[in-house]
Each structure stands twice: as C-alpha cells, then as structure tokens.
Amino acid sequence: MIDVRNPEDGFAALRARIDALGEPVGGDRGEAGEPLTVGEWALLIEDIVEKPDDATGGIYNVATPEEDDREYDAIFVGGGAGGRFGAAYLRARGGRQLIVDAWPFLGGSCPHQACVPHHLFSECARELDLARHMQGRLWYPEFDESKASILGIVELFKKGRSLPHAVMNWQSKQQLDLEFILNAPATVIDEHTVEVEGRQFRARNLVLGTGARTAYPDISGIEQNGVFDFASLIEDLDYEPTSCVIIGGSKVALEYGSFFQATGCQTTILTRSPLLRTASLHHIDEDMRTYVIDMMVDRGIVIHEGVEPLEVLGDGRATGVRYRGSDGETVEIETDFVFVGTGERPNLKLYDALGLETDDRGFVVADSTMKTSSPSVRAIGDLLGSPMEMFKARKCGMAAARNIMGEHYEYDYSEYPDFFHTTYEVTWCGLTEAEARERYPNVIKLQMPPDDSDPESFPLPAAEGSMLYAFTRPILSGWFKLVIDADSRRILGAHHVGFGAKDAFQYIDYLIRRPEGWTIDDMAELSELFLNPEHFIQLSRLRAGKQQLVNL
Amino acid sequence: MIDVRNPEDGFAALRARIDALGEPVGGDRGEAGEPLTVGEWALLIEDIVEKPDDATGGIYNVATPEEDDREYDAIFVGGGAGGRFGAAYLRARGGRQLIVDAWPFLGGSCPHQACVPHHLFSECARELDLARHMQGRLWYPEFDESKASILGIVELFKKGRSLPHAVMNWQSKQQLDLEFILNAPATVIDEHTVEVEGRQFRARNLVLGTGARTAYPDISGIEQNGVFDFASLIEDLDYEPTSCVIIGGSKVALEYGSFFQATGCQTTILTRSPLLRTASLHHIDEDMRTYVIDMMVDRGIVIHEGVEPLEVLGDGRATGVRYRGSDGETVEIETDFVFVGTGERPNLKLYDALGLETDDRGFVVADSTMKTSSPSVRAIGDLLGSPMEMFKARKCGMAAARNIMGEHYEYDYSEYPDFFHTTYEVTWCGLTEAEARERYPNVIKLQMPPDDSDPESFPLPAAEGSMLYAFTRPILSGWFKLVIDADSRRILGAHHVGFGAKDAFQYIDYLIRRPEGWTIDDMAELSELFLNPEHFIQLSRLRAGKQQLVNL
C-alpha cells in the first residue's frame, strides 16, 4: 500500500519504480515530493499492467482522519465512466467520496479495452478503406494488404493506452481532488462497508459501477484459443488472423468486423437477428440500415442473418465455425479467428453479500434515482443494461451523486442519440421515418441522395472526410435523412452515415427533445459552416419558406 | 437559346449534345422528353465549361406567359449561394422569381472554384499529413513526396466538379421548381430590368449576388504566369510547382498554404498583419492561434509576419518574390509558384447603370433588409463584404426574399460561428478568453491540454480523426477551450482545433447566443456520443457539480 496523499513517502516510493522504467513521454517528469505527472503515471500504469504480480499493492490517494474525518457519503465500487463522474460530482457538491478500483487507473474499461481502442480501430478502418479505394490514384500507392496487420494495430494501442489512463489519474487527483484507491480489488462486506487490502471503509451509500463483459454463447468449443471478444482481443492476440468469423450482430460486431475486413482479413458475420434490428438498438431507420449494410457488403464483408452458431471447431485452437443456416442446412466455415460480438452482461459475484434484485437477463434493477433493492446501494452504468454507453454511465453516476447529496433527481435514459462505426460514422437520434409515419399523418423528409436519384451519380452529402469519395465514386460519400412533421413543422428525427456529423447529433438530439420541440424554421436560422457534413441547416432553409412542407 | 421548359424541343436539343459526350456517371440517363438527370447535367456542364465557345446559348428554364404571366417579384442576378437560396425562398413563399447566371450551372463559385475544392484540398492536406507522419508505422509505406501532385489533385477536382453542379441544377428544377437562365450573362438595364441574349425581363426587384474575386495587391510583376489565386489555380495550373510563396494572410492563404506544404511543396507565407489577427477574422483566441500556428510551423511552413511584398520577380513567368522584411531589409526568395491570398473584392461594373452606393473598400452598402441605395435593388453575399461565407450569402438571400414578399425581416450577420482548415479543422464561436475577461470579472475555462500540462504527453482531445496522432505523438491530437462566466454559469465561447467538431459548433453558437444564454449545467444535461471530438459535454458535467466554478 502506497499512500500518495503523503507526497514525501508515497510519491517517492512510486518514483523509485518509475525511474527504473525509462523516460516519460516528452520528458514529462515531476519534482520530488510533487504529484506524478501524466508521463510518470503512464510509465507506472504500463508497468503494473504488464507485470501485475510485481507487488506495488494498492495506490491510496485517501485523506487520513487528520485531514478529513467526515464519514464517506459514498464509496464508488469501480472507477470507470460512471464511478469517476459520479465521484467527481459528489465531491464538487461538497460530499466526501472514495473510489476503489482493481485496475491501477481510473476511467475503467473505456480507455483500456473498449471505447478508445474501438475509436482507434475504427479510424484505422476508415483510413485503410480510403487507402484501398484510392490506390493508384493521386499519391496513393498500390495497397499492400500484407502490411495491414490487426496485431500491429492492437500493439500500437497497447503501447499507447497508458497515456489516456494517466490523464484520468492526473485529472482526478490534481483537478478534481478525488479520493481513490487503485490497483486493489474491493470486497463488498455489506451495504455500507467495503474492504480493501484488509482495511475497511464505511459510507452512507455504496455506488456500484463495475460494468459488464462479453456474454459468450453457450456453444461447444467457444473457450478455445483463437476465440476473442473486444477485451481479450487486446490482452491476448498474439498472431495475425487470416480470416474472421464473427458470432453475433451487436454494435461491437459491426465495428470490429468492419475493422478486420478493412485490414484485408476476410470477415463473415453470423447473426441470429437481422443486423441493426436487435432489441438493444432502437430508432434504426430502414433506409439508413440499407445504406450501412450495402456499404459493408460493398467492402466485401459476408453477412449471414437468421443463422444459429452451433460449434467452434478446433482442437484447442479454433479452426472454424459450424452453424445452421437460415435455410436449416448445417454449414462449416474455416477460420483461424473467431470474434464474439453477442452483447455484454454484468458479473455480480462481487455483490453477493448484498442480495440485489436483478432482471431476467441478469442486470441489476434500479429506479430512476439509481437506487437498487438495497436502499443505501445505488447501481450505475452497464450494470443496469442497455444502452451500454458512456453518457449513460456518467449521467447515472451524476444522478446517484445528486440524490445522495440530498437532491431528488431522476434520470431517464430511455431516449438518447446513438452511433456506431463501420468504415463510416453512423449517427442518429429521434424517430425513424417509419416510426414518424405511424404517429403523424403528414411526415416529410429532407434526404440525400433523394429517393428518386441515382446514388452512383449523386456526390452529396460530402464534406470533411468524404470529399475523396465524392470525387471518385459518389455513392461512397454518405447518406442522410431529416424527418419532419409537416403540420407542426417539428423535426422528429435525424439519421446520418458519413463523417464529421456525430458531435452535432448531441445537440440536435437535445434540441428536438425539448418540450416545445424544434422546428425546421428554427434550424433554418442557424449559421452553417459550409460544407457542413450533416447538410441539415441549409436544406431546412431551402424548404422553410414553404407553408406546406414537402420532401427535399 | 434552348428552352428546357419545353421538354420535347429543349431537352431533345440538349440531349443531342450530351449523347455525343459519352455515358453519364453510373449510367444515369433519362427518358426522352423528360428533364435531364444529374448525370446528364454533369456531362453537359463539363462540356460547356471546357468548350465555352461551342454555341449552346442560354439554357432557359423560364415559364412562358401561357404558363405564368405574373410579373417577376425578383430577378436574382447571379445564381450562387445567395441567389439560389433567395430565389428558392421567394418561390416557396409563392413569389415569382428568375435567376440569371453566366455559368451553365447554379451554385456559383462555391462548387466551381471555392468551398468545394477547398474542402477537397484540405482533405488531401489532412490525408497527406497523416501519410507523412505515419510513414513506416503500421501499414503506411515510406511517403513518396514525388507522387503528391498539386496538379493531379486539381485535375481530380476539375474532372469531378460537374457532378455537384449538376445536383444544383437538378434540384433547382425538379425539387425547387425555379425559373432560371444559365450560360448567359445578364445586362442590368435599370433597377427593374435585366437583359439576357437580347430579351428583356422586368421585375419589381433586383437581387444582386455576383460575389467577389481575389483582389491582387498592386505590386510589379503580379500579372505574370505562375501567379495564382484560388480561382485561377483551378482554371490555369498546368505544371507542378516545386515551391510556393503566398502573398497575404487570409483564411485562403492558411488553407491553401497548408495544402501546398502537405504535398511537399515548400511554402512560405508573407503577410503584412500577423496571421489570424486580420480585421476580417474576429474572436480568435490567442491560445488557439498559438496552437494553430505552432502546428503549421511543425509541418515546415515558413511564416514571415509584418512584411511588405514589393515585386514578383520574373520575365513573364514568376521566378521569385522580393519583399521588405519586418526588420526593414529587402529579401528575395526564389519560387516558381506565387499564390495570392489577400482577400476578395466585388466587381461592380455590371451594375454601373444603377449607381449603387459603396463603402471605402468597394463593397455595396445595404441595410439589414439587404436594401441598397436604390430602393428596389437588394444586394446579398460577398458583394457586402465580410464575412464572405456561405451561411451569410444564403441568409442574405432569404432575408431579401422575405422582405420582397412583404415580411419585414432584418438579418444581422455581425456574430456567427467560424472555421478554417490547416491540416486541422479549426472552429470557434462566441468570445475568446481575453474578450470574456474584459467583460466579466470571473471567467473560467475548460481546456485540453490544460495550461499546466505537457502537451507532448497529453493525448487529449482525441476522437474521430485524431486517434492515430494521439497514439503516436499526443501533441498532434488537437486542442480546445470552452470559456464560461462563472457567475452566471453561461458559456461565452468555444474554440477547437482537431477533427469532427465543426458541425457541433453550428449548434453551440445557436445555443449560446439565445437571449437567455446557455449554461454549463444545460450542456451537462446532454448525452455525449463518446469519444466526442469536442469533449465539451462531459467536461461540463465534470465541473457542473461545483457551485463556485473553477478551471478544468
């Protein structure tokens, strides 16, 4: 146990380990007795992750009773997205908090195995797609598939992931003044008590935020080498896959499948439900779905929907997958790389002492204040099920903190903007065209390419990130639709495939969900930054003059 | 003169020319007697642009008196951003309009010589920058500078620009039902009359929207071959530049300079005013400026501020530039390529008959209803001066249309979001930190990397488009700042350098300019699509718990 609230001893002990590890990135070295810099944290985290058995023990950034003898308002079990944000909010409100995490960093799986690598891999997928499509044009050489290595990209991520981790630790200590214990698993004793390395901490409330992990389907051979999920891909991959079979049709399946295919690793997706028609994804516009899947197939991905995976073949190492096709026939497909993308479930073993109520899928049941069946225990983030997204985890954490600090605050996450990557960014919010037509008699849309155009000759939408596609093969440049109730003129939904529009959807979602709504006339008042990837503003203005709105 | 309101004759005549030109993109061919498809328009436009002397004459899509004998409410002289949007708005309101344009397409200079090529070139700059930075890593081969050809990229644009033009023609006819005459210059006879190919058209109002062109500084040798502006670069470049000297420090100078440098064409910028401190750009945050310029210099661009260009050297073809340095010494620099980026001015010769009032820089004077000194004449877009941006042109067109149709509508374009490209997307709105501190006693900011961090080790912001930088050299991954009045908690300004944040700024600008403002607490309620390139929402939430806001 190293107490970094005591800079003389704590940081000196850590620095002794860090100094042996080499120079921090950019020479980012701190003074003796001062807190660790981002560069120093990164060296330390990397070393602990690589050599977990080297006994550093818990890294305690915990106020001693002389500094702060108030009871903890909350102990956050898990310092990922929800725990860290919840703790920061509670601390900012003047409460006392403690985060305990088994990993040597705050931020959780996102920067270690989930969102951050996904973004790096999806950026590689986009760049590989461009390199392949543009080969022989302009400065792009012939694309050398043998150089596009999944293993190499995973290794780049692993080599660099300690820096984002380090930022979270640095920020949590220096900027947010949080109390935390890292690199030490928590044992939950009861609804007020957590034990870490034999020391007990008591709090008015526990906030549980330890996330979820891939739920493997119960089929023979799935435990072999050569079968990966998004987390083990990063920790365990040690060879270059030559082909890939994906079991499942989740966002993760689409995202990683698109990445594998872009590297030249022939990818086949086996999914029970049709792609993008799973319960965990809502508001998928049918035209958007068509464009997304067409473009995946255009890139060579093979998709089998309505199939039943039966077995991963192999003798200790995966050599293929046997599945029942949609026609009932049994098929075997060879592969040296199986990727499981069937969704995630929480591991609740840590909470056995609490006897929490769960739903039929194994998620913790909590009310809109995050309260579980145990009144002083709140659960946040992926423990609660879909949507397993950062905004939900963080806002759950915030909601828990507000309630614990005495404010009644309810958080409803049933509606939200959403996105995933293929080689494109796919983003949407609000109603699909079909959903809108069910609820409103007079729905119009602004869409590009329009239904009555030939997308092979229609180079719009185009903007940041899609210009090279637009000028070489227009159909590749993207697709979008804005759905409008022509009677109230309110915007009901927005759907986009392309690049550079994602961040805008955070705001569009906010605006169209206001109780008073947001109309095409409101949107037309904005000042577009042209070429704007989502093109919505100018198209709204081009139609807003009309009393009787019609399609564009 | 070909009348395409008469499909039998008009389209047949055009199709006779088009059919000789080959197959439209994607086989996008229409039926005899039907309007032209996007693909057909593209072939026609390309042919007319390439062979302007082949006598097609004006392409008339004008209702005959049998179809519509109402007086025109407005004739739009120039069918660019402002004219086309203004005409569409007026038409949507039930008015009768006519657009006249000398080019064979609607949309103006934007898709022909300005925004669209700028976006293609800036995307190439970004991709070239990545290819160079990543060379030897992952699948990226050694970067072969000899293959990165400015001429080749310009030619790709020229070969493809007819398709976006064609979309504008197709949309204006099929979806917007506009009346227009293309490929025929207008002669303005008086404030109600325009003559085209000997035929006079009369309207209640004229709306002038013919834009601006590069104002060349009055220095010796500037008219030689080898001296270009953004328009002539596209029309006239016929060799591969080996080095570049840019005269001027406008947005165009930064954008094209970054592109030239990225291709390996060593670029020197000679600018009188310090970069990003010109009158035509406002609200440039000093930290943003520093990051942007540092990153340009990091890429090898040479910047000389406070200098006076004296002469373009050469004997009919530019061989160098002579300038007075900031120390008063005269310097000569060799180059085979001079690019003028000193800003634009309108050409008002066409309007001599109207005797319009202009300001001391040669721009037309108009009030907030776009009315000029001649009461039935309105002027829109770049004719009015800065900002010379699409949103302003389009909204001016809309404002003119609304007023002409009897609604009193004022348009004030003194505040707006703004952007430009280097190899990054640079976007901002609202107040800079310094401006905010002048007006408010208690200003805080959310910034990444923070002031007290080492940006070489700080891999945030990162998200779509910056992941490969973040994982190889963190300082390259971008920069941002959100400026907040700690007392009212209102967001005052936002500033970003990176990728994927641009479209969001359209909405942030709208929200923070609402009379009631938009607070950090409001922003914290949004649902971020993580990693979100602008990172603002989660950082707001990480601070919003605090009663006394402080920096993050």
d(CA A317, CA A428): 39
Look at residues A334, A337, A320, A160 and name the one whose alpha carbon lies nearest to residue A237. A337
Residue B12: per-residue pLDDT: 87
Residue A32: per-residue pLDDT: 86
Annotated catalytic residue, options A115, A348, A531, A552: A115
Q: Which residue has the higher pLDDT, A279 or A266?
A: A266
Q: pLDDT (tens digit, 9 = 90+) per residue, A58-68?
A: 999 999 888 89
Max distance between CA atoms of chain B, in angstroms, equals 74
Residue B26: per-residue pLDDT: 84
Annotated catalytic residue, options A36, A110, A178, A276: A110
Q: What angle do CA A146, A152, A153 make, to 5 degrees?
A: 110
Helical H segments across B441-519, by residue range: 467-470, 502-512
Q: Which pair of structure tokens corresponds to residue B255?
A: 């954008």
Question: E strands of B32-134, at which residues?
Answer: 59-61, 72-77, 97-100
Look at residues A163, A334, A157, A347 and name the one whose alpha carbon lies nearest to residue A256. A157
3-state secondary structure of B214: strand
Could you tell me the CA-to-CA distances from A520 to A494, A534, A550, B138, B504 in Å, in that order? Answer: 12, 14, 12, 45, 17
Tell me which chain A residues have a C-beta less than 8 angstroms from the C-beta of B546: 92-93
Active site residue A458: no
Could you tell me the CA-to-CA distances from A432 to A288, A289, B170 in Å, in that order? Answer: 9, 11, 27
Hey, is the C-beta of B152 within 8 angstroms of any chain A C-beta? yes
Residue B110: per-residue pLDDT: 95
Residue A129: per-residue pLDDT: 98
Question: Distance from A272 to chain B by nearest Cα, in Å?
Answer: 27
Write the residue in B85, B164, B454 that is nearest to A541 by C-beta: B85
d(CA A449, CA A436): 20
Residue of chain A nearest B451, judged by CA positions? A175
Question: E strands of B272-408, at which residues?
Answer: 302-305, 308-314, 318-324, 330-334, 338-340, 344-346, 377-379
Tell me which chain A residues have a C-beta less than 8 angstroms from the C-beta of B392: 527
Indicate if the pLDDT at residue A11 is higher than 90: no
Q: Where in chain B is the domain with CATH 3.50.50.60?
A: 110-153+216-275+282-342
Asked if B500 and A464 come within 8 Å (Cβ–Cβ), the reply is yes
Residues in chain B: 552
* Cβ pair B312, B222 in contact under 8 A: yes
Per CATH, the number for B110-153+216-275+282-342 is 3.50.50.60
* Cβ pair B415, B488 in contact under 8 A: no
Report the side by side order of strands in the sheet with B425-430: B418-421, B425-430, B491-498, B479-485, B443-448
d(CA B321, CA B332): 6
Write the residue in A458, A459, A506 that is nearest to B527 by C-beta: A506
Q: Which of residues 202-231 of A touch B (CB under 8 A)?
A: none
Residue B9: per-residue pLDDT: 83
Residue A496: per-residue pLDDT: 98
**First-residue to last-residue Cα distance in chain B:** 65
Q: Where in chain B is the domain with CATH 3.30.390.30?
A: 424-544
Residue of chain B nearest A421, judged by CA positions? B464
3-state secondary structure of A43: helix
Active site residue B265: no
Tell me which chain B residues have a C-beta less than 8 angstroms from the C-beta of A160: 459, 470-472
Tell me which chain B residues have a C-beta less than 8 angstroms from the C-beta of A81: 530
Asked if B170 and A453 come within 8 Å (Cβ–Cβ), the reply is yes
Active site residue B124: no
Pick the CATH number of B424-544 from 3.40.50.300, 3.40.190.10, 3.30.390.30, 3.40.50.1370: 3.30.390.30
Percent helix, percent strand, percent coil in chain A, to nearest 5: 35, 20, 40
Q: What is the ipTM of this complex?
A: 0.97
Residue of chain B nearest A465, judged by CA positions? B123
Q: Which pair of structure tokens corresponds to residue B193?
A: 């009359």
Hey, is the C-beta of A537 within 8 angstroms of any chain B C-beta? yes
Question: Distance from B325 to chain A by nearest Cα, in Å?
Answer: 35
Residue A452: per-residue pLDDT: 87
Number of Cβ pairs < 8 A linking chain A and chain B: 351
3-state secondary structure of B153: helix
Hey, is the C-beta of B163 within 8 angstroms of any chain A C-beta? yes
Contacts by A382-386, CB closer than 8 A, 24 or more apart: A382/A211, A382/A212, A382/A344, A382/A346, A383/A208, A383/A209, A383/A210, A383/A211, A383/A212, A383/A346, A383/A348, A385/A359, A385/A361, A386/A279, A386/A280
Q: Where in chain A is the domain with CATH 3.50.50.60?
A: 112-156+216-342
Asked if A545 and B176 come within 8 Å (Cβ–Cβ), the reply is no
Best probe of the A interface among B527, B538, B540, B549, by most A CBs < 10 A, is B527
Active site residue B110: yes
Q: Which pair of structure tokens corresponds to residue A441?
A: 């008699």
Q: Which of residues 481-510 of B touch A (CB under 8 A)?
A: 499-510
Hey, is the C-beta of A526 within 8 angstroms of any chain B C-beta? yes
3-state secondary structure of B212: strand
Q: Sign of the CA dihedral A108, A111, A112, A114?
A: positive
Question: Distance from A472 to chain B by nearest Cα, in Å?
Answer: 8
Annotated catalytic residue, options B43, B90, B110, B128: B110
The amino acid sitting at A229 is D
d(CA A437, CA A458): 26
Name the DSSP letter for residue A8. Answer: I
Q: Which pair of structure tokens corresponds to residue A426?
A: 């796919």
Residue of chain A nearest B170, judged by CA positions? A453
Predicted confidence band of residue A245 (pLDDT cuts 50, 70, 90): very high
SS (HEC) of A235-280: HHCCCCCCEEEEECCCHHHHHHHHHHHHCCCEEEEEECCCCCCCCC
Q: Which pair of structure tokens corresponds to residue A521?
A: 């006339």
Residue A268: per-residue pLDDT: 98
Best probe of the B interface among A177, A529, A546, by most B CBs < 10 A, is A529
Pick the CATH number of A112-156+216-342 from 3.40.50.450, 3.50.50.60, 3.30.9.10, 3.40.50.720: 3.50.50.60
If you search the block for the tokens 């080095």, which residue do you land on? B243
Indicate if the pLDDT at residue A514 is higher than 80: yes
H/E element, B399: helix B390-404
Residue B452: per-residue pLDDT: 87
Tell me which chain B residues have a C-beta less than 8 angstroms from the C-beta of A524: 398
Residues near A536 by beta carbon (within 8 Å), at least 6 away in sequence: A446, A480, A482, A494, A508, A523
Indicate if the pLDDT at residue A153 is higher than 80: yes
Write the residue in A37, A507, A544 that is nearest to B507 by C-beta: A507
Average pLDDT score over residue span A120-137: 98
Helical H segments across A135-187, by residue range: 150-160, 162-170
Residue A55: per-residue pLDDT: 76
Write the residue in B138, B462, B527 that is nearest to A417 by C-beta: B527
d(CA B121, CA B258): 9
B442 phi and psi, to 5 degrees? -135, 80
Rounded mean pLDDT of chain A?
A: 96
Residues near A357 by beta carbon (within 8 Å), at least 6 away in sequence: A364, A365, A372, A373
d(CA B534, CA B500): 8
d(CA B395, CA A186): 59
Predicted confidence band of residue A86 (pLDDT cuts 50, 70, 90): very high
Asked if A401 and B545 come within 8 Å (Cβ–Cβ), the reply is yes
Cis peptide before B449 (omega within 30 of 0): yes
* Cβ pair A165, A79 in contact under 8 A: no
Indicate if the pLDDT at residue A8 is higher than 80: no
Predicted confidence band of residue A331 (pLDDT cuts 50, 70, 90): very high
Residue A506: per-residue pLDDT: 98
Active site residue B429: no
If you search the block for the tokens 């600008």, which residue do you land on? B509
Residue A468: per-residue pLDDT: 98
**First-residue to last-residue Cα distance in chain A:** 65
Residue A12: per-residue pLDDT: 87
* Cβ pair A404, A73 in contact under 8 A: yes
Residues in chain A: 552
Q: What angle do CA A363, B531, A182 make, to 5 degrees?
A: 65
d(CA A253, CA A249): 5
Pairing of strands A443-448, A479-485: antiparallel
SS (HEC) of B505-531: HHHHHHHHCCCCCCEHHHHHCCCCCCC
Task: Per residue of chain B (552 residues), give pLDDT as tens.
Answer: 889 888 778 888 889 899 999 999 888 899 888 899 999 999 999 999 999 888 789 999 999 888 899 999 999 999 999 999 999 999 999 999 999 999 999 999 999 999 999 999 999 999 999 999 999 999 999 999 999 999 999 999 999 999 999 999 999 999 999 999 999 999 999 999 999 999 999 999 999 999 999 999 999 999 999 999 999 999 999 999 999 999 999 999 999 999 999 999 999 999 999 999 988 899 999 999 999 999 999 999 999 999 999 999 999 999 999 999 999 999 999 999 999 999 999 999 999 999 999 999 999 999 999 999 999 999 999 999 999 999 999 999 999 999 999 999 999 999 999 999 999 999 999 999 999 999 999 999 999 999 989 999 999 999 999 999 999 999 999 999 999 999 999 999 999 999 999 999 999 999 999 999 999 999 999 999 999 999 999 999 999 999 999 999
Residues near A228 by beta carbon (within 8 Å), at least 6 away in sequence: A236, A237, A337, A338, A339, A340
d(CA B444, CA B433): 8
Residue of chain A nearest B498, judged by CA positions? A500
Residue of chain A nearest B463, judged by CA positions? A119
d(CA A90, CA A404): 8
Q: pLDDT (tens digit, 9 = 90+) per residue, A337-391?
A: 999 999 999 999 999 999 999 999 999 999 999 999 999 999 999 999 999 999 9
Q: Which of residues 49-108 of B touch A (CB under 8 A)?
A: 81, 85, 88-93
Residue A16: per-residue pLDDT: 87
d(CA B117, CA B115): 6
Residue B316: per-residue pLDDT: 96
Asked if A505 and B529 come within 8 Å (Cβ–Cβ), the reply is yes
Asked if A460 and B167 come within 8 Å (Cβ–Cβ), the reply is yes
* Cβ pair A210, A363 in contact under 8 A: no
